[in-house]
Copies of this chain bind each other. A is one copy, B any other.
Amino acid sequence: MAKIGFIGLGNMGGPMAENLLKAGHDVTVFDLNTEAVKNLEGLGARSASNLQTLAQDKEFIVTMLPASQHVKNVYLSDEGLIHTLSAECVVIDSSTIDAATAKLVAQQLGERGVQFVDAPVSGGVGGAKAGTLTFIVGGEQKTFSAVEPILSAMGKNIFHAGDHGAGQVAKICNNMLLSILMVGTSEALQMAIDNGLDPKVMSDIMLKSSGRNWTLELYNPCPGVMDNVPSSNQYQGGFMVDLMKKDLGLAMETATHSSSSTPMGALAQSLYTLHSQHGYGKQDFSSIFTMFENKK
């Protein structure tokens, strides 16, 4: 079993670290939140008082942090791990950040001989707890092979998307498309309703036709069509509008930098931003359906 340093014990990182412990790994954790650290200690983790001691004698470092600047701080700042990590250590960053930052960290660690993968996840808090996350990995083939057994303790599907940064790009492309599926499905269902059709019947027809997509299969946005989805629970739980808005911001940043034209993605960003501004930022992202309802 591997010696792993884990940084970032939030809603996602906490259960991920727990699953590493369950798999028998030797895990040392770090977080500014002492409560979260104590919780993991109770489950068998060691803890470190600072990043430098955490990094000592580890085979793998895993980070799960909120945004690019935190990742830069942990790795590249004056107190960053770049100054301590040995070439034997392999670094896995599972934060969702922009690809440019992922490439920068990969390159700078690489200059010190340290291998790095960006490995953002999908599957949410539920997937983190159940150990069924999807990991989308960017990095060299040999590093991918090295990290795959570690990621398997926390997830079910492990994809190798390409070189450094490709994990972030692939995740953001997928989530951009997801937002388009959700808005498009909502429009189609509401237009059917406005013309007197039953949304359940309309959903069944599209599921067996060329309109079929993930949202109709597993996450119907219209209340009452499916049980056990956010739309049938007042849009509570699930994946928040504000998180989709964050991902669409990353997608548009990526599109601008690569001169990609993404009219539907850009429209989705505008609509999710509007929805958030109208006060629905904390609801599940399928609540965009309600934007199209007739409220007169």
Contact = CB atoms under 8 A, between A and B. Distances in A.
Interface in A188-206: 188-192, 194-198, 201-202, 204-206
Report the interface size class on chain A.
Answer: 35 or more
Scoring A99, A163, A278 by chain B CB atoms within 10 A of each residue's CB, the highest score goes to A278
Given A263-B271, A266-B267, A267-B267, A159 B291 contact: no
Contacts of A269: 256, 266
Given A169-B197, A191-B255, A178 B211 contact: yes
A130 B2 CA distance: 57
Interface stretch (A41-49, A111-119, A141-149, A179-187): A179-187
A80 interface: no
Chain A: interface secondary structure? helix
A210 B277 contact: no
Scoring A136, A162, A261 by chain B CB atoms within 10 A of each residue's CB, the highest score goes to A261
Contact of A256 (B99, B159, B253): B253
A207 to B, nearest CB: 10
Contacts of A267: 263-264, 266-267
Given A122-B210, A205-B170, A176 B181 contact: no
B191 A173 contact: yes
Contacts of A220: none
A236 interface: no
Contacts of A177: 184-185, 187-188, 206, 211, 213
Given A178-B210, A211-B181, A264-B264, A197 B166 contact: yes
A13 interface: no
The oligomer's copy count stands at 4
A264 B192 contact: no
A293 to B, nearest CB: 7
A84 interface: no
Contacts of A184: 176-177, 180-181, 184, 264-265
A254 interface: yes
Interface of A: 99, 122, 134, 136, 157, 159-163, 165-166, 169-170, 173-178, 180-181, 183-185, 187-192, 194-198, 201-202, 204-206, 208-214, 217, 219, 245, 249, 251-256, 258-271, 273-274, 276-279, 281, 291-296
19 contacts: A136-B205, A162-B197, A170-B192, A173-B189, A173-B191, A174-B210, A176-B187, A180-B181, A191-B251, A194-B258, A195-B254, A210-B214, A253-B256, A260-B292, A264-B264, A264-B267, A266-B270, A267-B267, A274-B291
